[in-house]
Structure 1
Amino acid sequence: MKINWGTAIVLVFIGFISFILYFVVRMNTEKKYEHDLVTEGYYKKELAFQNEIDAEKNSKNLENNILIHTTIEGLVISFPKDKNSSDISGMVSLYRPSNKKLDFEIPISLSSSKMIIKDENIIEGRWNIIINWEYNDTSYLFKESFTY
């Protein structure tokens, strides 16, 4: 059987479309290819954006801001020493851009100016940390990206 050039072009198009559809279906159905790039409640967060800007400005105006570093124990968050640590309240949010199942939040409860997040809670890779804290009815916001 001899195939003319018109039939060959149609067969190539069908093969190419089948190839593309195979990968589209595979990427949408397999769990290992899930990548969440947007946080939950995106629009609700957008409405509170001005409060976030004000809190971030308050944080940048501090003489001593929050410091983050890693040790053998885990991630150490050092709050300003000129603030009374028992009056600091808020939330520490760790956000993993590549997998929202690894995201978690920890409430701030301090006995000293340092807070330690244990090593077993954080796996290697890129993380975004957001520390939303309050001291004497003033809100502060600290954001940073780091690789653990």
Structure 2
Amino acid sequence: MPIRTSPAPKRTRWPYAIVAAFVLFASFIGYLVQQAMRTSVELVSPDYYQQELTYQQRMETVARTAALPAPVQIEPDAATRRLRLQLPAAMAGQPVAGTIHLFRPSDQRLDFSLPLRPSTALQQQVSTAKMPAGYWRVRLDFTAGGQAYCVERTITLPD
């Protein structure tokens, strides 16, 4: 009697494909975790929480600034590479003191502040020649006649 041999069972590739898919998925998740750990997460300012406590006072100064008879003008001039600040004429004759804050939202290391020293015409110009082109936020905090004022504008410096 002849011996019957059954054919060898066909090997399927499905178990290997499933294992390979799990390994690839785990590698991808590991890569995403590694990239997330390397990303720098910075607050806009180091004393962010202290600034949050003074938020109500800031809102009052912003409302007072909005109620001025003429707006505070903050305009970049691409031709001269300067930022021109113009205070309202209603503040003429009053002692004005304050600070100009320039923020670069994409890079905290570029942030800086300057003292506000307007001329008798209530103007001040700030050179933007050394500032990188792009999006900037300008905040002007000042006092005039014993009242605090605050104005914030966004500007885009050209190349």
Q: Which amino acid aligns with 1:147?
A: T
Structure 2 equivalent of residue 79 of structure 1: 87
Tell me if the contact between 1:74 and 1:119 (Cα under 8 Å) persists in the aligned partners.
yes
User: Aligned runs of 1:19-34 on 2, under 5 Å?
Assistant: 19-26=28-35, 28-29=37-38, 34=40
- Structure 2 spans left out of the alignment, 5+ residues: 1-10
1: CA distance, partners of 2:140 / 2:12: 67
> What TM-score comes out, normalization by structure 1 length?
0.84
2: CA distance, partners of 1:43 / 1:54: 19
Structure 1 equivalent of residue 53 of structure 2: 47
Cα-Cα RMSD: 2.2
SS of 2:56 mapped into structure 1: helix
Tell me if the contact between 2:87 and 2:123 (Cα under 8 Å) persists in the aligned partners.
yes
Superposed structure 1 runs of 4+ greater than 6 Å apart: none
Q: Does 1:147 align with 2:156?
A: yes
Q: Does 1:119 align with 2:125?
A: no
Aligned residues with identical type, % of pairs? 25
Q: 1:28 to 1:120 in 2, by over 3 A?
A: farther
Q: Which amino acid aligns with 2:117?
A: S
For the pair shown, the structure with the greater C-alpha radius of gyration is 2
Q: Does 1:92 align with 2:88?
A: no
Structure 1 equivalent of residue 15 of structure 2: 6
> What TM-score comes out, normalization by structure 2 length?
0.79
Tell me if the contact between 2:102 and 2:137 (Cα under 8 Å) persists in the aligned partners.
yes
- Deviations 1:48-106 (CA, angstroms, capped at 9, x unpaired): 01110110011000001210112213111111123137711111111111111111111
Size of the aligned set, in residue pairs, is: 144
1:3 Cα deviation after fit: 6.6
Q: 1:115 to 1:24 in 2, by over 3 A?
A: farther
SS of 2:90 mapped into structure 1: coil
2: CA distance, partners of 1:17 / 1:26: 14
Structure number with higher helix proportion: 1
SS of 2:91 mapped into structure 1: coil
Tell me if the contact between 1:132 and 1:139 (Cα under 8 Å) persists in the aligned partners.
yes
